[in-house]
Amino acid sequence: MIRKSLMLIYALGAYALSMAALVYIMGFLIDFGVPKGISGQSAMDDESLALWPAILGNAGLIALFGLHHSITARTSFKRWWTGIIPAPIERATYLYMTVAMTALLVLFWQPIPITIWHVEPRLAASFIYAGYAGIWTMMVAATFHFGHFGFLGLAQAWQNFRNTKPAPSNMTARYLYALVRHPISLGWMLAPFMTPHFTVGHLVFAGATFAYILLATPFEEADLIEEIGEPYRDYRDRVPTFVPFAKRRLFKAVPEHRSRPPGR
């Protein structure tokens, strides 16, 4: 019982830190309420700014973050990893690593405060901020479709503590997942643009994130097809990847099946 209690505490810590990291990134992308924002104070003035090293360094940080995500999301890695880390805290351990990668990203990010656009009218800026909040609301809501607490590693430790069998996620093509197959990835692609003051730093973050998602999604879907089979192939054929209503053909809900959620 002590071991299971420690696992639960471990998972609670992962959940709390993950939510804190999420809130920080929300502030980071719009330079609001955080010690260091994406285009915050730079140690270099405009004349001495080493532009290309900063661009490449920042893109490398995004690539490193994405590499961590992609490697740990692979089915083959999980089979090996759960031989070392107990299954009830596998997801929580992944989240601790993600929090660490987020800290590295923020710590070593080099602000590039070169303005691309700056929307000054308050009303227009308010609409942009509302859109930004809406995107994050969509992303968080998407996690509830297949189990918010399981997605953030808490449900597994709680079930282990209570000596109940893990409850696999039930994925159906409803709500956000009836519009696009990857609403969380879509949110990451859109969020960096939803700011009244868009800088080169934002552009680097957006471009690197966009490129990573396009490269990683086929591998993620290959894992889902291997795990789920024909139901996911049918879902993939009927529901667009990122752009809602990109296909005009009507689609029906995927038959309910048990699987891990799309995305790590």
Q: What is the pLDDT of residue 65?
A: 94
Q: Is the pLDDT of residue 50 over 50?
A: yes
Q: What is the pLDDT of residue 175?
A: 86
Q: What is the pLDDT of residue 173?
A: 76
Q: What is the DSSP letter of 192?
A: G
C-alpha separations of 197 from 38, 57, 121, 150, 208 in Å: 11, 22, 12, 36, 19
Q: What is the pLDDT of residue 27?
A: 97
Q: What is the pLDDT of residue 193?
A: 97
Q: Is the pLDDT of residue 171 over 80?
A: no
Split at pLDDT 50, 70, 90, the class of 2 is confident
Q: Is the pLDDT of residue 194 over 60?
A: yes
Buried b / exposed e over 125-137, threshold 16 CB at 10 Å, is eeebeeebeebbe
Split at pLDDT 50, 70, 90, the class of 167 is low
What average pLDDT does this structure show over 165-187?
81
**pTM (two decimals):** 0.86
Q: Which residues contact 169 (CB under 8 A, 6 or more apart)?
A: 146, 147, 150, 258, 259, 260, 261
> Are the CB atoms for 236 and 89 separated by under 8 Å?
no
Secondary structure tally for the chain: helices H, strands E:
11, 4
Q: Which residues contact 189 (CB under 8 A, 6 or more apart)?
A: 206, 209, 210, 213, 242
> Are the CB atoms for 76 and 64 separated by under 8 Å?
no
pLDDT per residue over 118-147, tens digit each?
999 999 999 999 999 999 999 999 999 888
Q: Which residues contact 162 (CB under 8 A, 6 or more apart)?
A: none
pLDDT per residue over 219-254, tens digit each?
889 888 888 888 888 988 889 999 887 764 433 444
Q: Which of 157, 155, 156, 152 is nearest to 15 (CA)?
A: 152
**Cβ atoms within 10 A of the Cβ of 199, count?**
21
Q: What is the pLDDT of residue 49?
A: 56
Q: Look at the alpha carbons of 248, 242, 39, 56 in this order and tell me if their dihedral is positive or negative.
A: negative
